Amino acid sequence: MFTRRDKGNNTGLLICLDLPEIQQKKLSDELACSNSLLPTLHLQILKTVWKLYDNSVWSLRDRLRAAEKVCNPLFASIGQLIESGKARDSSANFIYLHELARHLIHSNETLDVAMDTLDAIRESFKVIGDETEKQYFDEQTYALRRKFRALRSRSESLKERLQNEINLVREQIIVHCNS
C-alpha cells in the first residue's frame, strides 16, 4: 500500500496492489464511513493490513496441519508408507513441507517490515492533531503493534514446528534407507 496526502486540497491518494477484492470493498466502505482525519484513515488501513496478515498466517497453519496429517511419523513409519505404496506421497509431502517453510520465512520477514512501518507511522503522527487525537492514535497503533507482534510469534512458532516435522521425516527416510 502507498499513501500520499495533498495538504493544499486536503485530499489523499491510496494505492493498493494485489489487495483481494473482498478486502478492497471492506476498506473502501470503512474509509467512506470514517472521518477524513489522516490518522483515522491510516488506522483503518493498518487494521485492514493486519487482517490480511492474520488470514495469511492462519492459512499457513491450516496447510501445515493438513500436511502433518498426510504423513505423520507418529502414525506411520517410512517403511510402512513404502510397503503401502504411499512413499511417493511422503516425498511429495516432504517437498510441500519445504514450500511451506519458504512461505513462513517470507511471512516472518514481511511481518517484521510491517512492524517497522507501523513504528514509523506512529512516530510521524506524533505531531499531527490535538492531544486527544494523538493519544487515541498512539493507543490504537500500540494495540495494533502488539497484535502484529503476536502474529509474528505465531508465524515463527509455525516455522519451528514445520522445521521439526521436516527433520522427523528426513530422519525416518535416512533410517529406512540404511536398514
Q: For position 86, which CATH number holds?
A: 1.20.58
Band of residue 58 on the pLDDT scale cut at 50, 70, 90: very high
Q: What is the pLDDT of residue 83?
A: 53
> 63 lies in a domain?
yes
Question: Do 122 and 145 meet the contact criterion of CB atoms below 8 Å apart?
Answer: yes
Q: What is the mean pLDDT of the chain?
A: 79
Distance CA 132, CA 170 (A): 57
Q: Tally Cβ neighbours within 10 Å of residue 139.
A: 10
C-alpha cell at 40: 483515522
> 95 lies in a domain?
yes
Q: What is the pTM of this model?
A: 0.74
Place of cell 511422503: 90
Q: Which domain holds residue 167?
A: 38-178
- DSSP conformation class of 73: T
> 160 lies in a domain?
yes
> 15 lies in a domain?
no
Distance CA 93, CA 101 (A): 12
Give per-residue pLDDT as tens, 71-126: 554 444 544 544 555 544 555 567 778 888 899 999 999 999 999 999 998 888 87
* Distance from chain centroid for Cα 40: 23
> 99 lies in a domain?
yes
Strand intervals (E) in the chain: 2-6, 11-15
Band of residue 34 on the pLDDT scale cut at 50, 70, 90: low
- The angle subtended at Cα 120 by Cα 10 and Cα 126, nearest 5°, is 60
> 64 lies in a domain?
yes
| Arithmetic mean of pLDDT, 141-159 | 95
Residues 6+ away with beta carbon under 8 Å from 54:
147, 151
Q: What is the pLDDT of residue 143?
A: 95
Q: Number of folded domains in the chain?
A: 1
Residues 6+ away with beta carbon under 8 Å from 113:
none
Band of residue 28 on the pLDDT scale cut at 50, 70, 90: confident
